Amino acid sequence: MSLGHQLIKEQLFFRKELKERVFWFIKLRWIAIAGAALCSYALFFLEPGLPVFPMIILILGVAFYNILFLFTWLRLKSFPSERVRPFEIFAHIQIVFDLVAYLFFIFLTGGIQSPFLIFVIFHIILAGILLSPVSCFIISGLVVLIFAGLMALEHTTGLPRPPGFFQNTLLTGDLEFPGALFVFLILAAFILISAFLTTSIKLSLRVKGRELLKVSKALEISNAKLMTLYEMVKEMGSLYDLQKLMDTATRNSAVITGVKGCSIKLLDEKREKFSSSYGLSEDDIAKEAINSKKEGMAAVMCLPLKVKTLLLGDICFYSEAPLFFDAEDKVFFSLIADLTALGIETINRELNKSWFLAKAAHQLRSPMNAIHTMLDMLQKGFQGPVSEKQKETLNRCNTRIKLLGDMIHDLLKIGMRRTETNHSGVLPVDITLLLQKLTDLYSPRALEKNITLTLQTAADIPRIYADEQLLDDLFSNLISNALKYTPEKGEVRIAVSMEDHCRIKFQISDTGIGIPEEDLPNLFSEFFRSENARAFTENGTGLGLVIVKEALDILKGTMAIESTLGQGTCFTCRFPVGSASRQPPLCR
Amino acid sequence: MAATKTILIIDDDKDMVNTTRIILESRNYAVEAAYNGKDGYSMIEKHPPDLILLDVMMSTNTEGFDLAYKLKNSNQYRDIPIIMLTSFPREITLQGPEKFQHILGEDWPVSEFFEKPVDPDELLAVIQDLLVGKP
């Protein structure tokens, strides 16, 4: 099979090209027919002696078979591009029909001396473009033979020639040997060189096209790899659990690179164990080593997981194909390793940061808790009776200590919140359930003050994707505030409902002391407390509403406050049911 | 009259241990104390208590949890009720063991979990509840 054929068969691109060219050929023929008809019409007036009638017959014949070709094309059009054969046959038929029509045309316009003899070049070029190189050369050879035959016939039998209007300037006079042979050889060379040039150019173009296809395919593959890598990094960015992050990395890395398995080992106290693995058998994971024979692993590549000079561990890729990894792959695999290392380090840093704050909270609270418990013990008479005056002092100590505890708690809470970067919830939060829990939690405090605490939840509250801790901070601070600033026998009402299907409306109203209007602008400033609040209770840090405001800002919510001094306050918070990507379509 | 119940306090805060001891002894419990998980475990091995009061963070961040899981995984000591007390903020302890990276476990290894400071009366009530029915 010729190279041209192979190329046509192999590449869908060229198959499509053949399909398109076959139709283009039919269209081109209409132009030729129109041109020939126009010329014949003009000649009818200019040279009445010319054989215009046979010419018209020829034109009608070509038009007729072109109509047939058009119908054939319409039928072939629905054939899948992979089926090349019918199009090849169709192209050959067209070329042969045109060759016959052309020869008839030559005969009518002066035989071997027709000035249209030179038009053979178009035929050869078209055959070169449309057919395989072999077919093109066969057609060209055939043309040369026909011309030789025509010359011989005209010379020996005196084939009748049309009138001399069309006398070819190249081939004037009688065709005598050896002059005629010389002319014929030039003609033959002209035809064959044209065929050669056309097929060579076409082949060279196809080779280039093939290379282009290869490059484009390679680009497509690396684009797909990079897209998957991007998705992996995106997924890793949304995680704040180290194990989940490593599992995502090993799973995606194996899928992207097409290897059988992937593992991560971290340099920690469990350094001998796989921290995460994908595609490895339970047995290997348990033994912490790969049984390459049993697993059919033929190649392995391990790369360090490091961020700058900090070595975190290693990531290994296992392939069933021997010599799977080459130098080029190393660049891409290193990219995966670096991105994974960066993800691990980011989570580690976050963990260290939040652990530091958690430990700081613990260390600050420990001595305070001990003092608190000792005071409690004294006050409750565990070490003997306490006088009323002593009890009162101990009570004061307890209150102040508790305030100090609250202050530490709130400060650390704000510190923690401001250092956290990831607030997106991964699990849906049931607000109704959360509020029920908080109401239960605060019920004893309400009972102490004889306050009626009620919770009213609408039935259509959806679960929302948000950081549950943020919602907890928001609700618990507002509930605790309401209970704190409501006198005994008062009322605190909590209500949650949906607003336009996109937002949740949380409302907490109390029959408390109220907020002076002039204090409203300062309400969310750190350590601010209204005069009346200070007078009512010293038990307040001035940080609760700061926490509320910051939580609400992260939740992208809004707040409205209505308050009447001495009658009560109503806080109304509105926040979307999910982060931007998890919003219902209508709410985006 | 029922035998005196023994309560083991494991906490690195000596003031806390002493205070809790006074509170518990006022209700006639026999109190033993250890100041770290390791000593606590050897005391349990020598003389298994009826109940353990366990702190979370001692020499390591999760020493209390480590010991609690160790006890829950042993056939011998898994039935000893454990009350865990911690000074970690509520939001950390509320999230449970997941927050404590080194611990892998499905269930809470403890019977009760309290954020310090605990009201003495509440603590005594919970202890009494947990010891009900214990011989």
pLDDT tens figures, A158-202: 666 655 455 554 555 555 666 677 778 888 888 889 889 988 998
A vs B: CB pairs below 8 A: 69
pLDDT tens figures, A111-164: 777 778 888 888 888 888 888 889 889 989 988 898 888 888 777 776 666 554
Domain B1-58+65-91: CATH architecture, name and number where available: 3-Layer(aba) Sandwich (3.40)
- Looking at per-residue pLDDT, the higher value among A355 and B41 belongs to B41
Q: Which of residues 200-259 of A touch B (CB under 8 A)?
A: 241-242
Structure confidence at residue B135 as a pLDDT band (50, 70, 90): low
The chain B residue lying nearest A471, using CA atoms, is: B91
Q: What gap in Å lies between CA A409 and CA A397, rounded to an integer? A: 18
* % of chain A exceeding 90 in pLDDT: 25
Q: Which of residues 39-98 of B touch A (CB under 8 A)?
A: 57, 61, 86-89, 91-92, 98
- A95's tokens: 């070329």
The minimum CA-CA distance between A275 and chain B, rounded to whole Å, is 12
Under 8 Å between Cβ of A318 and A300 = yes
Please indicate if any CB of chain B lies within 8 Å of the CB of A273: no
Whole-number mean pLDDT of chain A? 83
Q: Given a cut of 90, is residue B100 above it in pLDDT?
A: no
The pLDDT assigned to A479 comes to: 96
CA nearest to A550, candidates A438, A413, A439, A425: A413
Q: What gap in Å lies between CA B36 and CA B74, rounded to an integer? A: 19
Residue by residue, DSSP assigns A5-54 as: HHHHHH-HHHHHHHHHHHHHHHHHHHHHHHHHHHHHHHHHHH-TTS-HHH
CA nearest to B63, candidates A268, A344, A359, A272: A359
The chain A residue lying nearest B16, using CA atoms, is: A370
Please indicate if any CB of chain B lies within 8 Å of the CB of A352: no
The minimum CA-CA distance between B62 and chain A, rounded to whole Å, is 11
The minimum CA-CA distance between B81 and chain A, rounded to whole Å, is 22
Select the residue from B31, B86, B87 to test the A interface by mutation, using most A Cβ atoms within 10 A: B87
Select the residue from B58, B102, B116 to test the A interface by mutation, using most A Cβ atoms within 10 A: B116
Please indicate if any CB of chain B lies within 8 Å of the CB of A377: yes
The pLDDT assigned to A500 comes to: 82
- B19/A380 CB distance under 8 A: no
Whole-number mean pLDDT of chain B? 83
Structure confidence at residue A1 as a pLDDT band (50, 70, 90): very low
Q: Which residues contact A574 (CB under 8 A, 6 or more apart)?
A: A499, A503, A504, A505, A506, A557, A558, A559
CA nearest to A361, candidates A371, A349, A369: A369
Under 8 Å between Cβ of A483 and A445 = yes
- A366/B87 CB distance under 8 A: yes
- A361/B89 CB distance under 8 A: yes
Write down the domain spans for chain B: 1-58+65-91
Q: Given a cut of 80, is residue A272 above it in pLDDT?
A: no
Q: Which residues contact A481 (CB under 8 A, 6 or more apart)?
A: A544, A545
The pLDDT assigned to A9 comes to: 46
Q: Determine which of A60-69, A351-360, A475-484, A494-503 has the lowest per-residue pLDDT on average.
A: A351-360
The minimum CA-CA distance between A380 and chain B, rounded to whole Å, is 9
User: Chain A contacts of B57, Cβ < 8 Å?
Assistant: 359, 362
The minimum CA-CA distance between B50 and chain A, rounded to whole Å, is 22
- A 10 A CB-CB count for B3 gives 9
User: Chain B contacts of A383, Cβ < 8 Å?
Assistant: 22
User: Chain A contacts of B19, Cβ < 8 Å?
Assistant: 370, 373-374, 377
The minimum CA-CA distance between B113 and chain A, rounded to whole Å, is 15
Domains and CATH numbers, chain A: 3-167+174-215 (no CATH), 240-350 (3.30.450.40), 423-587 (3.30.565.10)
CA nearest to A542, candidates A522, A569, A513, A566: A522
Please indicate if any CB of chain B lies within 8 Å of the CB of A356: no
* % of chain A exceeding 70 in pLDDT: 86
- Looking at per-residue pLDDT, the higher value among A559 and A113 belongs to A559
Helix (H, G, I), strand (E, B) or coil at B109: coil
- B101/A376 CB distance under 8 A: no
Q: Given a cut of 50, is residue A2 above it in pLDDT?
A: no
Q: Which residues contact A257 (CB under 8 A, 6 or more apart)?
A: A225, A317, A329, A332, A333, A336
Q: Given a cut of 60, is residue B45 above it in pLDDT?
A: yes
- Looking at per-residue pLDDT, the higher value among A179 and A521 belongs to A521
The minimum CA-CA distance between A15 and chain B, rounded to whole Å, is 59
User: Which of B16, B22, B57 is nearest residue A362 as measured by Cβ atoms?
Assistant: B57
pLDDT tens figures, A4-32: 444 444 555 566 677 778 888 899 899 98
Please indicate if any CB of chain A lies within 8 Å of the CB of B106: no
Residue by residue, DSSP assigns A505-550 as: EEEEEE-S----GGGGGGTTSTT---HHHHHH-S---S-HHHHHHH
Please indicate if any CB of chain B lies within 8 Å of the CB of A100: no
The minimum CA-CA distance between B36 and chain A, rounded to whole Å, is 16
Under 8 Å between Cβ of A305 and A344 = yes
Q: Taking residues B3-10, what's their average pLDDT?
A: 92
Q: Which residues lie across from B84 on neighbouring strands?
A: B54, B113
Please indicate if any CB of chain A lies within 8 Å of the CB of B125: no
- B89/A355 CB distance under 8 A: no
